[in-house]
Amino acid sequence: MATLQDVANKAGVSTSTVSRILHGKGKFTSAVQKNVHQAIKELNYQPNSNAQALASNKVALVGIITPNIAAPFYGRVASGGAATAREHQYKTLIANSFRDAEDELNAIYSFVAQGCRNIILHSMTLSDEKLIELARQIKGLVILGRYVEKIANRCVWIDNVKASKLAAEYILQKGHKKVAVLSYAQTQCDPSQRLTGAKLAFMEAGLEIPEDLIIFNDGQVADGRLSVQKLLDNKAEFTAIIAYNDLIAIGAIKELVKRGIKVPQDVSVIGFDNLFLAEISTPELTSVNYPIEEMSRYAVELSIRLTEQPNIHIEQTHLFISSIVERDSTADVNQNLVAAVVTS
Amino acid sequence: MATLQDVANKAGVSTSTVSRILHGKGKFTSAVQKNVHQAIKELNYQPNSNAQALASNKVALVGIITPNIAAPFYGRVASGGAATAREHQYKTLIANSFRDAEDELNAIYSFVAQGCRNIILHSMTLSDEKLIELARQIKGLVILGRYVEKIANRCVWIDNVKASKLAAEYILQKGHKKVAVLSYAQTQCDPSQRLTGAKLAFMEAGLEIPEDLIIFNDGQVADGRLSVQKLLDNKAEFTAIIAYNDLIAIGAIKELVKRGIKVPQDVSVIGFDNLFLAEISTPELTSVNYPIEEMSRYAVELSIRLTEQPNIHIEQTHLFISSIVERDSTADVNQNLVAAVVTS
DNA sequence: CTGTTAGCGCATTCAC
DNA sequence: GTGAATGCGCTAACAG
């Protein structure tokens, strides 16, 4: 690989001149510029980014940390973020945390060790305190999908309580009163907030969700099936299901249909995330939209602003809006079935 | 961030000693070792990987380049690769090429500029010659999902012709003779090979696929729908569809069902890739399995071997096996319907 | 406008 | 076994 020195020699100037021209700092005789550009082209020169990083203490690198980019939801985080990074001529570093706090910290520190200060973190394991501490240390740290009061200006999030309440209200509006909730067996953040939101809607309607209609599972399609099995085995009575996410919802539908229970005629199902999958499911899945890709793009923009504008003060939190996308898995409650279905 | 110097000062030794201990090179008094480790811990020292890279001309970085990691297929490439990289204590760099040859080259060069020699490339745009040239320059370049004769030992691939032939044979075995092929409108690699495979199977059976039953599209779910629309609008006669990939297959099924054509009773549909989605579709999709995640893991292993063992000679190409995963979207041809369905 | 100089943090000779 | 010295390729003062 050709170095700056090579280019400088070839163009008959010093390395600093080449460096300046490369970065468009200051002005130069156009003759010199031409020579330099010529030399760069002829030598196919590419700056060594490690040396750049070392010398300038800056790297054009966005690090994205999610539980697992193979999951469709996080895949969108990665692709949105990577695309935006690229627009700003940043490269993208990826790490999976696999929902492990230690792995997550390791990922962060290894990014930092590379001088990467632009980190987009979708964390479900670290404590608020830890995040606050990290945010103080890392200028470009942006928290995705979670709200932490003290660093609200670093948070790009949706209001899970509100969104889930919306979903529950939508179900209530359709006349459903006996509703099962398939939640995610994790004590933090999203799952508990979404559960709260659903409960809230019912409370406001003068109803409540009995504990035996709330099933916790592991958030995958297979878990949705299992949860429905459990409900039916317990002879639970319900005419609708509010699922923590689309995967669970799809699993639930599959199991219901397998048991001869029609969706949405007998039971309505609503998901959350509005993944690509929602349109593939049969019936197509009604879901709460989670604009994660836009959020991820925004998060990268924000992070870059945070690091490139040294004295920037952002007095704003970054709240995105979710809304119901109505498809075919939900319908008005069928009064005739209210008792029958349920004990099938 | 603490530096090597800080650690050395604190431990009362020189930087070179610390460096050696860090890499386990040579032997030391255990007292010194303890001091150093202590200092490292106390200072929470993390080596600066840019400096390491610059000094040693090595980086523990695997670069993965695919058209778009948001696509489910490439998401699996990224996650498999990232997981394996992590096991070897390599970090993972991601870039999307968006099927653009220039973007792809830029991504490669920017990785190289970082000293990254471990590159996993899923290219559908670069020519064989270019890939050969790149392979010569980049010791750890591994080509995923494509076979290039002259650098066969760098290729981790499946035999698309054979796999697609298998799919066609499977359909033929079920008695289908009028079969539509939904291919991908791209002249290179996989699409044309898969088409060839299907044609081959028919030829060997003394049949052929008429040109008007071969539709080219853009490979997404919506395109599958459109292609089926086109077929039906043309009053094409067919009892089975062989799709280039699962997305097309799912779109095709959706459109067929919408038109009142039953899958698999009236028309059988087989996909390719065996994505997660295949199980979500209704009916569940029969598909050709593409062990892409294992392949991606293997590719990373291979790349690391290639760079870490300087004089390694690999006299082997890395061919993975694909096989049919039978689900519910395919069935024996229904003789009564052969004429009827088709002209619906 | 341009060249000289001095590091960035680390690995790696070479001495001792 | 350990320390001192050198340089990886580049940026950023500082001179001129």
Domain boundaries, chain A: 46-158+294-321, 160-285+327-343
pLDDT tops 90 at residue A156: yes
Q: Compute the average pLDDT of residues A116-125.
A: 95
pLDDT tops 50 at residue B130: yes
What is the spatial distance between Cα B184 and Cα B218, in angstroms, rounded to a whole number?
A: 6
Nearest residue to C3, CA vs C1'? Answer: A14
Do residues A322 and A158 lie in contact, with contact meaning Cβ atoms separated by under 8 Å?
A: yes
* Residues of chain A numbered 221-250 and touching chain B (CB < 8 Å): 221, 250
Taking the Cβ of residue A312 and every Cβ of chain B, the question of whether any pair is shorter than 8 Å is answered with: no
A91/B95 CB distance under 8 A: yes
The percent of residues in chain B predicted with pLDDT above 70, rounded, is 97
Angle in degrees, 0-180, between the axes of helices A49-56 and B49-56, rounded to the nearest 10: 130
DSSP, res A44: T
Bridge-based pairing of strands B179-184 and A118-121 is unpaired
User: In what helix (H) or strand (E) does residue A142 lie, and over which residues does it extend?
Assistant: strand A140-144
Closest Cα of chain B to A42: distance in Å?
16
Taking the Cβ of residue B124 and every Cβ of chain A, the question of whether any pair is shorter than 8 Å is answered with: no
Closest Cα of chain B to A253: distance in Å?
10
What is the spatial distance between Cα A301 and Cα A295, in angstroms, rounded to a whole number?
A: 10
Closest-approach nucleotide to residue B57, Cα vs C1': D8
Residue entry with tokens 């990467």: A116
- 10 Å CB burial of residue B237 (0-12, 13-18, 19+) is middle
What is the spatial distance between Cα A218 and Cα B200, in angstroms, rounded to a whole number?
A: 45
pTM tops 0.95? no
Mean pLDDT of chain A: 93
pLDDT (tens digit, 9 = 90+) per residue, B211-226?
999 999 999 999 999 9
Residue of A nearest to B278 (CA): A280
Whole-Å CA distances, A316 to A149, A159, A302, A319 = 11, 15, 11, 9
Residue A290 neighbours by CB distance under 10 Å: 24
B79 → closest Cβ in A70, A79, A115: A70
Taking the Cβ of residue B137 and every Cβ of chain A, the question of whether any pair is shorter than 8 Å is answered with: no
Strand D contact with A229 (CB < 7 A)? no
Q: Compute the average pLDDT of residues A47-56.
A: 93
What is the spatial distance between Cα B50 and Cα B115, in angstroms, rounded to a whole number?
A: 10
* The one-letter amino acid at A177: K
What is the spatial distance between Cα A96 and Cα A82, in angstroms, rounded to a whole number?
A: 15
Taking the Cβ of residue A282 and every Cβ of chain B, the question of whether any pair is shorter than 8 Å is answered with: yes
pLDDT tops 80 at residue B298: yes
CATH of segment(s) A160-285+327-343:
3.40.50.2300
Please say whether the structural domain B46-158+294-321 has been given the CATH code 3.40.190.10.
no
pLDDT tops 60 at residue A340: no
Confidence at residue B240, expressed as pLDDT on a 0 to 100 scale: 97
Chain B CB contacts of A41 below 8 Å: none
Domain A46-158+294-321 identical in fold to domain A160-285+327-343: yes
Chain B CB contacts of A277 below 8 Å: 277, 280
pLDDT (tens digit, 9 = 90+) per residue, B38-61?
999 999 999 999 999 999 988 999
pLDDT (tens digit, 9 = 90+) per residue, B251-268?
999 999 999 999 999 999
Strand C contact with B16 (CB < 7 A)? yes
pLDDT band at B336 (very low <50, low <70, confident <90, very high): low
Taking the Cβ of residue B126 and every Cβ of chain A, the question of whether any pair is shorter than 8 Å is answered with: no
- A140 φψ region: left (φ > 0), alpha (ψ -120 to 50), beta (else): alpha
pLDDT (tens digit, 9 = 90+) per residue, A223-274?
999 999 999 999 999 999 999 999 999 999 999 999 999 999 999 999 999 9
Using the structure, give the distance in angstroms from the CA atom of A1 to the C1' atom of D12, rounded to a whole number.
24
